Structure 1
Amino acid sequence: MQPDEPLVLALPKGRILKEVMPLIRAAGIDPEPAFDDDDERRLRFATNVPGLHIIRVRAFDVATFVAFGGAHLGVAGNDVLMEFAYDDLYAPLDLDIGHCRLSLAEPDPAGPLGHMVTDAAGDTPHNVGHIRVATKYPNITRAHFARHGIQAECVKLSGAMELAPALGLSRRIVDLVSSGSTLKANHLREVAVIAHVTSRLIVNRAAFKTRPNTVGAWVNRFREVAAHAA
């Protein structure tokens, strides 16, 4: 990272973007009009702040861009931070948005997949040494079950986790849960909360050291905005 290069802020696409933009604008950052165009294919945008650009990427990629220096700051859920555990990331601020939970789910015994529970009634975290779980969080999932002395074989999926039990990929899934309506619609039930999730402001550690005044000023600005929004 060069000290005179534009500062880059990485933001996640999707639901969190809608929640974080009021904070971004409250901090005095207004992206160029194309940023709000759903048909726009560019991923990097100028802002009203000279020397500050925004990139819009997948939620899972925000942490990677910031950790490897492609961006200096970003917004990422602590689920992503837990999954990758990058040493080069510093997360100084919980923005108190994006509330959900990372949970373990399995077929509802009262639903059409209930036979899966009956057929594997002895397959519980207390009496087995190995289970299969569909998730996009293999590191968190393996660590969670390892704490119970269980080896978790993870089937890595990027989405549609709720289909895994019905299609025979795995009996259990680990995924983000908000209202629980998607689980219910797919005849699953939440059986354990692994972690409560919120979105954090994250910073590249090297950028924080080499550009302490600029990066530090933005961290402080977001801290003020988040405190005012609470």
Structure 2
Amino acid sequence: MSDLLTVAMPKGRIFEEAVELLRKAGYDLPDEFENSRKLIIDVPEEKMRFILAKPMDVPTYVEHGVADIGVAGKDVMIEEERDVYEVLDLKISACYLAVAGLPGYAKKDINPKVASKYPNLATQYFKEQGEQVEIIKLNGSIELAPLIGLADRIVDIVSTGQTLKENGLVELETIVPITSRIIVNPVSYRLKDERIEEMVERLSVVVEEELR
């Protein structure tokens, strides 16, 4: 069995923050690592391979075993419900999921529409609230939906709230806090347990130090 460790990472802010943690944990990653346009980056010195993917695809790669380890936001984990182990909260890219809408929004009695790129999560949330809604799945620019009359409310990630404010929306309800997690393929966890546990332990020390 190859001792190459394959790690799936989402592009963007999470990738940059996760790379910083890995460096602090003692992993020797090239200086140009973050600027590479490659989708697969080999780091032979560490016997590691990195796959750069869309955030929603990371759990899929890990579940199917093409990646041993992944870094995924808790929002993606809740939405995708993949068969993977969640082993460490990295405490990076902190934000939260919220319901938002136009100021003065009043709940409708009949079939209100909610736009989100998290249809499963949104459906479950409103079911728990005892509210029956129609979910409209969008892949981007969720804030547009109330502005053009497509939906009454949205469910989306909120970081600073600036995007909502700039588009004339207000936060109506907070759903759940979100951070990025280390996830592991169950088979890899058995076959490459020593390498995976070493990485988790090294990153755990860094995460604890960052919180002090």
Q: What TM-score does the superposition give when structure 1 sets the normalisation length?
A: 0.85
Counterpart contact for 1:32–1:45, Cα < 8 Å: no
Q: Are 1:69 and 1:204, in contact at CA under 8 Å, matched by a contact in 2?
A: yes
Give the aligned residue type for 1:144: Y
- Alignment-derived partner of residue 16 in structure 2: 18
Match of 2:99 in 1: 104
Correspondence for 2:56 among 26, 36, 60: 60
Q: Tell me if 1:182 matches 2:177.
A: no
Task: Please give the alpha-carbon distance, in whole angstroms, between the structure 2 residues aligned to 1:86 and 1:94.
Answer: 17
CA deviation map 1:25-81 (0-9, x unaligned): 1122233455332xx432011125342111111111111111111111111111111
- The answer (yes or no) to whether the contact 2:27–2:46 under 8 Å persists in 1 is no
Question: In percent, how many aligned pairs have the same letter?
Answer: 39
Distance (Å, rounded) in 1 between the aligned partners of 2:40 and 2:107 = 51
Equivalent residues in 2 for 1:66-215, closer than 5 Å: 66-87=62-83, 89-109=84-104, 117=105, 121-123=106-108, 128=109, 130-215=111-196
Kindly state the Cα deviation for residue 138 of structure 1 after the two structures are TM-superposed: 0.4
How far apart, CA to CA, are the structure 1 residues paired with 2:87 and 2:37?
31
8 A contact 1:95–1:200 mirrored in 2:
yes
- Aligned-partner Cα distance in 2 for 1:152–1:34: 47
Q: Which has the larger radius of gyration?
A: 1
Whole-angstrom CA distance in 2 between matches of 1:183 and 1:53: 37
Q: Is there any run of 5+ residues in structure 1 with no aligned partner, and where?
A: 110-116
Q: How does the TM-score come out when normalised to structure 2?
A: 0.92
Match of 2:25 in 1: 27
User: How far did 1:194 drift?
Assistant: 0.8
Which amino acid in structure 2 is aligned with residue 201 of structure 1?
A: I
Displacement of 1:12 in angstroms is 1.2
Contact 1:31 1:45 survives alignment (8 Å): no
Structure-2 separation of matches of 1:205 and 1:150: 36
1:110-137 superposed Cα distances (whole Å, 9 cap, x missing partner): xxxxxxx3xxx451xxxx3632111000
Instruction: For 2:113, give the aligned amino acid.
Output: R
Aligned partners of 1:122, 1:4: CA distance in 2, in Å? 56
CA–CA separation in structure 1 for the residues paired with 2:31 and 2:44 = 10
Structure 2 unaligned runs (5+)?
A: none
Match for residue 39 of structure 2 among 43, 46, 70: 43
Alignment size in residue pairs? 211
Amino acid at match of 1:80: V
Q: Deviation above 4 Å: which 4+ runs of structure 1?
A: none
Separation in structure 1 between the aligned mates of residue 178 and residue 82 of structure 2, nearest angstrom: 17
Tell me how far apart the structure 2 counterparts of residues 9 and 22 of structure 1 sit (CA, whole Å).
Answer: 15
Structure-1 separation of matches of 2:192 and 2:22: 20
